[in-house]
């Protein structure tokens, strides 16, 4: 009996199961669009309704809700991006896992072990301990971080500071909007860790890697799709950080130069963090490279030596590698040797790195354009990519 085609999901976790039980999402599919509407209605709409009835919506007033960019970006951009990223991750991670079989990297006799690895990672995905820790972090952050958020005016929540305490709008943003956003971020960081765990366990199996493969990573080039699954998440995180800086520039008169180092660190950390899972294959690819040095070096030496003895020394040599009567195949062996001894240690492409950099750099670029000509900002971003 043949092993069924592998299936794997990063996003069909206990939260989705709970939402299905509550009939908030359909039994089939992820219901990302519906959940996005629900979360916007929960996090942003009550604040806007409150603003209408209390006069906080008028842009003329200094305390207008219109000026609180952090609330709008978090609720209308970042949270929807984090939810709508799930179908993207489901699609690309499914393609990646399925291609291990289709590409011949997994031997027929190893398919059961391959499926076992997938199931173990999914059980880890559903770990009650992991989800419990995330909930504790969210609750602790909501209870201990609210006062700091108000004092620092991180995303313009200062509208809620008055003698009686914080008003409804600030309270809703602090105790509903922020916790939901933080929970979604932790959820995606957990998925990133699961991806690294999956790749690390697969790297320990007997994958049929071939050193001279044109993708220069033994046939693992399709793993570059991994970054596409996380690009919207990177954009969401960068947007929330950047809008805080935008508020300081627009409201408090800060200068963009004060935050250049912060933006560079933000982009660097996000790019490195979301590329980390691909390093799980580094040791395996290093072994492949070292082995190729011997195998293809021996093959090339045997071929060239045989050609020399046959065509220069005029000796009769019986060797299968010399079965072709012309000298041309020597070029093919040289190509094999050149490709086999140039294996990269990480399945990484320029397009994938560029897409991550763009996702991380676009929000800072928009903020920088407030004070710096957009052409100069664009040139700096292109310089980072190229």
Give per-residue pLDDT as tens, 273-312: 999 999 999 999 999 888 877 777 666 666 666 655 665 6
Q: What is the pLDDT of residue 144?
A: 80
DSSP one-letter string for 15-64: HHHHHHHTTSS-SSS--HHHHHHHHHHHHTHHHHHHHHHHTTT-TTSTT-
Mean pLDDT of 106-116: 90
Residue 373 has pLDDT above 90, yes or no: no
Q: What is the pLDDT of residue 163?
A: 39
Which residue from 161, 221, 167 is spatially nearest to 344, judged by alpha carbons?
221
The larger pLDDT score, comparing residue 326 to residue 22, is at: 22
Q: What is the pLDDT of residues 43-98, one digit of tens each?
A: 999 988 888 888 777 654 455 676 778 888 999 999 999 999 999 999 999 999 99
Distance CA(211)–CA(221), nearest Å, equals 12
* pTM, rounded to two decimals: 0.84
DSSP one-letter string for 208-268: ---TT-TTSSTT-GGGGGHHHHHHHHHHHHHHHHHHHHHHHHHHH---GGGGHHHHHHHHH
In the 8-state DSSP scheme, what is residue 162?
A: B
The larger pLDDT score, comparing residue 225 to residue 11, is at: 11
Residue 156 has pLDDT above 50, yes or no: no
Answer whether 310's CB lies under 8 Å from 359's CB.
Answer: no
Average pLDDT along the chain:
82
Using CA atoms, how far residue 14 sits from 42, 85, 131, 138, 262, in Å, is 21, 17, 9, 17, 35
Distance CA(312)–CA(309), nearest Å, equals 6
Domain boundaries, given as residue ranges, for the chain: 7-208
SS3 318: coil
Least confident of 15-19, 233-237, 268-272, 320-324: 320-324
Residue 349 has pLDDT above 90, yes or no: no
What the block records as the tokens of 313 is 């020394």
Q: What is the pLDDT of residue 254?
A: 80
Which residue from 229, 258, 236 is spatially nearest to 355, judged by alpha carbons?
229
Residue 1 has pLDDT above 90, yes or no: no
Mean pLDDT of 370-382: 62
In the 8-state DSSP scheme, what is residue 306?
A: H
Answer whether 107's CB lies under 8 Å from 208's CB.
Answer: yes
Q: What is the pLDDT of residues 195-233, one digit of tens each?
A: 999 999 999 998 998 888 888 888 898 998 888 889 999
Q: What is the pLDDT of residues 32-41, one digit of tens each?
A: 999 999 999 9
Length of the chain, in residues? 386
């Amino acid at each position: 009996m043949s092993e069924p085609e592998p299936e794997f999901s990063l996003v069909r976790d206990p939260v989705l199961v709970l939402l299905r039980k509550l009939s908030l999402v359909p039994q089939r599919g992820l219901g990302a669009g519906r959940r996005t509407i629900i979360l916007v209605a929960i996090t942003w709409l009550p604040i806007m309704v409150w603003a209408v009835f209390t006069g906080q919506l008028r842009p003329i007033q200094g305390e207008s809700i219109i000026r609180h960019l952090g609330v709008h970006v978090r609720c209308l951009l970042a949270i929807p991006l984090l939810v709508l990223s799930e179908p993207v991750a489901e699609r690309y991670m499914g393609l990646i896992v399925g291609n291990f079989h289709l590409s011949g990297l997994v031997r027929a006799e190893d398919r059961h072990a391959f499926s076992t690895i997938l199931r173990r990672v999914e059980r880890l995905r559903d770990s009650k301990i992991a989800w419990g820790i995330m909930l504790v972090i969210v609750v602790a952050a909501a209870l201990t971080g609210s006062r700091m958020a108000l004092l620092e005016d991180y995303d313009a929540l200062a509208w809620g500071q008055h003698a009686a305490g914080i008003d409804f709008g600030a309270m809703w943003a602090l105790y509903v909007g922020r916790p939901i956003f933080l929970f979604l971020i932790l959820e995606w960081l957990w998925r990133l860790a699961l991806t690294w765990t999956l790749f690390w366990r697969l790297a320990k199996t007997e994958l049929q890697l071939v050193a001279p493969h044109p993708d220069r990573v033994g046939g693992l080039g399709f793993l570059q799709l991994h970054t596409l699954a996380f690009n919207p998440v990177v954009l969401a995180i960068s947007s929330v950080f950047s809008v805080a800086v935008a508020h300081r520039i627009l409201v408090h008169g800060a200068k963009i130069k004060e935050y250049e180092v912060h933006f560079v660190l933000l982009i660097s950390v996000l790019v490195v963090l979301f590329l980390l899972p691909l390093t799980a294959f580094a040791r395996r690819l290093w072994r492949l490279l070292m082995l190729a040095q011997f195998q293809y070096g021996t093959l090339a030496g045997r071929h060239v030596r045989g050609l020399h003895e046959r065509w220069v020394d005029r000796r009769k040599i019986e060797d299968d590698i010399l079965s072709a009567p012309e000298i041309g195949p020597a070029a093919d062996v040289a190509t094999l040797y050149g490709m086999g001894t140039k294996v990269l240690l990480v399945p990484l492409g320029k397009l994938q790195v560029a897409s991550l950099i763009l996702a991380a750099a676009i929000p800072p670029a928009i903020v920088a354009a407030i004070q710096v000509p957009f052409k100069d900002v664009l040139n700096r971003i292109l310089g980072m990519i190229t």
